[in-house]
A and B are shown apart, each in its own frame.
Chain A
Amino acid sequence: MSKPFQIALGILAAIGGFVDIGDIVFATTAGATFGYELLWATVLGVVGIIVYSEMCGRVATVAKRPVFDVVRERMGFGFGLATLVSSQLVNLMTLAAEVGGVALVLQLLLGLPYRGLVAVALVTLLLSAWFLPFEWIERVYGFGGLLLIVFTVAALKLGPDWQQLGAGFVPGLPSHGTELLWGYFIVGLVSAALMPYEVYFYSSGAVEEGWKPPDDLGLNRLNAGLGFGLGAFLSISLSVVAAQLFLPRGIDPEFLGTVGLGVLNPLGQIGLLLGLLGIFFAVTGAAIDTCFSGAYNLSQFFGWEWGKYQGPRGAPRFTLTWIVFLGLGFLIILTGVNPIVVTEYAVVFSVVAMPLTYLPILLVARDEGYMGEYANGRLGNVLGFLYLGVIAIVALSAVPLLVLTNMGQG
């Protein structure tokens, strides 16, 4: 396989892998509540994940350190352990949300009872993670996630008001609804784009795949920039569909089924099936990534041998960790808790813990001692610190807004 082709495949997989249950829930609800007016918030979040993951990828490639390696080194055991515990709790919440999301979409496709489908989801995840090689996981679920492009087609077919849509990319106060609710959705959209498991997985993946400077640094930038950047289109499409179909009818999307209506109405049965399949692949992929992230973090922090490439014999504690993690996520969903609700909590709380993992990465990425000539340039530093500020503001306002808006109910 030629190198450019491989790179293109990687980017396609990244695009398809961008969307997870958090993006689906928040993008759809934001569109149904504020129309096009919050598209800029999605962009703000996406640029954030591009900046963060580019730094993580660069640190992993040059300094050979994935995220929790850096956390342990720079923060020491005390602060580092606190960071680890909070990150793992968020990871677990996220995993439960994704597993539940898989069960929900399977239910919409097959109509079978929910509990049984939760078990099906667990088995699918377990078998995929155990038997599929690392690259195959990314390819299968990444390309499958690309089916979500059907939402972009739906958005175009519904014929949006392009002027209003364009205006949505400019930040501004809402034309209706309370400012608190508006703030809550900004937090949700930025946070859903910046889900931490994505960078844990991305940086560990860079080490797993043996990325070396300088060649793979370009690949890093492409994956981060194009992969996540274009992936944002899928998220934006969900909002645009919701703005056209749900906002005028006063529909507050509370179910994954409502999201399905977004493709069913403009594109008919084919649209519905492709859309649901797209959601299945995207959310299943996210579940696997999250489950591995939990194992990566723990192993890296304690210095265990880690890596999917090592196989179960090569990295046994790492393997046991992701299996246990998956089991815990499954148990949480089995309690009958609504996955959509878990998703909202996971998205909001993940940004609260984010400054703790973002800051050490930023410090290392700009440190010439670690990075040599590949340390942050002027632009890298400006963006890096700018987003530290954005993340800090979002992190501080997240829980108050969650409480004050009663989880987005107004």
Chain B
Amino acid sequence: MLVLVAAVGVLSACKGGAMTPWRLQQDADSLASIAADGELLAGETAKGESTGPFTTVHARELRQEADQLADVVASTEPDPGLARPTAQLATTARAAARVLRRLEEHPGDEDVAARVGDRLGAIADRAEQIGKQA
């Protein structure tokens, strides 16, 4: 039973497979979540409220998640009509990862954080838009 459950867990994160409308919506939601999370973090960092370690570690976690999402999305076979949104989602996820890396590497810079926050807000909206095309 444990093996079955573990298998399900592993398979769900696997690369490849078809990009269906449902999956596109799910992945878009995931990206929107990462971006909103990062935007919240950036907001606090811009106010000078966060600590260096906290911003760095959490930004890194989010960045790695965004990168992994981009990899997985880029490796799928999009259903007919979904090729463009799928490509857009992968690109947007990479953009999120880049932006999060700036926050990760400059956790004490309030200006950087403010700009990162704005960028991530825009990315979150973009992800939502892409999801609606599913």
Contact = CB atoms under 8 A, between A and B. Distances in A.
Chain A–chain B contact at Cβ < 8 A: yes
Interface of A: 107-111, 245, 249-255, 257-258, 260-261, 264-265, 268-269, 272-273, 276, 341, 345, 399, 402-403, 406-407, 409-410
A251 B5 contact: no
A221 B47 CA distance: 47
A276 B56 CA distance: 15
A374 B43 CA distance: 57
Interface string B22-56: 00001001101100110111011001011111101
B71 interface: no
Given A269-B49, A269-B50, A108 B44 contact: no
Contact of A107 (B4, B8, B50, B57): B57
A268 B53 CA distance: 15
Interface residues of B, number: 33
The secondary structure that dominates the B interface is helix
Given A108-B58, A409-B26, A403 B44 contact: no
Which of B43, B50, B62 has the most CB atoms of chain A within a 10 A radius of its CB?
A: B50
A245 B40 contact: yes
A261 B57 contact: no
Given A250-B36, A399-B5, A409 B12 contact: yes
Given A111-B56, A264-B44, A265-B44, 6 more contacts: A111-B52, A245-B40, A249-B37, A251-B40, A255-B58, A258-B58
Contacts of B81: none
A406 B8 contact: yes
A273 B54 CA distance: 10
Given A249-B40, A341-B9, A403-B8, A108 B33 contact: no
Nearest to A273: B51
B23 to A, nearest CB: 11
A69 to B, nearest CB: 28
Given A261-B44, A265-B40, A269-B50, A250 B58 contact: no
A108 B53 contact: yes
Contact of B29 (A250, A255, A407): A250
Contacts of A272: 49-51, 54
22 contacts: A107-B53, A109-B54, A111-B52, A111-B53, A111-B54, A111-B56, A111-B57, A249-B39, A250-B29, A250-B33, A250-B36, A250-B124, A253-B37, A254-B33, A257-B41, A257-B57, A257-B61, A257-B62, A258-B58, A261-B58, A273-B51, A410-B26
A257 B58 contact: yes
A276 B26 CA distance: 30
B1 interface: yes
B110 interface: no
A264 B49 contact: yes
Nearest to A349: B2
Contacts of B1: 399
Contact of A402 (B5, B29, B124): B5
A245 B9 CA distance: 28
A145 to B, nearest CB: 20
A108 B51 CA distance: 9
B8 to A, nearest CB: 6
A257 B54 contact: yes
A273 B53 CA distance: 11
Contacts of B26: 409-410
Contacts of B36: 249-251
Nearest to A32: B33
B53 A251 contact: no
Listed residue (A108, A264, A402) with the most chain B CB atoms within 10 angstroms of its CB? A264
Closest 8 CB pairs of A and B: A111-B53, A257-B58, A249-B36, A252-B33, A268-B49, A255-B61, A251-B36, A251-B37
A341 B9 CA distance: 9
Contacts of A409: 12, 26
A264 B32 contact: no
A333 to B, nearest CB: 17
A399 B65 CA distance: 26
A118 B57 CA distance: 15
B33 to A, nearest CB: 4
Contact of A261 (B8, B37, B56): B37
Nearest to B8: A403
B5 to A, nearest CB: 6
